Amino acid sequence: MLSNQEREAIRQLAQNIPALWQASTTTNAQRKEIIRQVIAKITVEVIGNSEQVQITIEWVGGTCTKHSIVRPVAKLTQLSRYNQLCERLKNLTTQGLSPEWH
């Protein structure tokens, strides 16, 4: 178990991580090492075959954070909102609207 003094030292070091990360003297190799010290595991899950991706980061110490990102896809049909986009296009066409090319 850590002593109060050790815990305080860790808190102070943790507060310096953003400054260390952004310092012009910090190399990419050093940034990679910082990441290796604070992240235990990263899980990436693509939702179906869509552009939607769920990322779970397990931090050293046990905390987990979840993030959603959008990835590029090869075809429009892979978009999670593809059916809604098609329906919207049909509605606009029915209203007599068409793309204006300039």
Q: DSSP 3-state assignment of 5?
A: helix
- The answer on pLDDT for 101 being more than 70 is no
Beta bridge partners of 52: 70
**What is the per-residue pLDDT across 73-89, written as a single tens digit (0 to 9) for each?**
999 999 999 999 999 99
User: What is the rounded average pLDDT of the residues 52-66?
Assistant: 96
Domain residue limits, the chain: 4-94
Q: What is the rounded CA–CA span in Å between residue 94 and residue 2? A: 69
| Cα distance between residue 36 and residue 102, in whole Å | 51
State the DSSP code for 70. E
Q: How many residues does the chain have?
A: 102
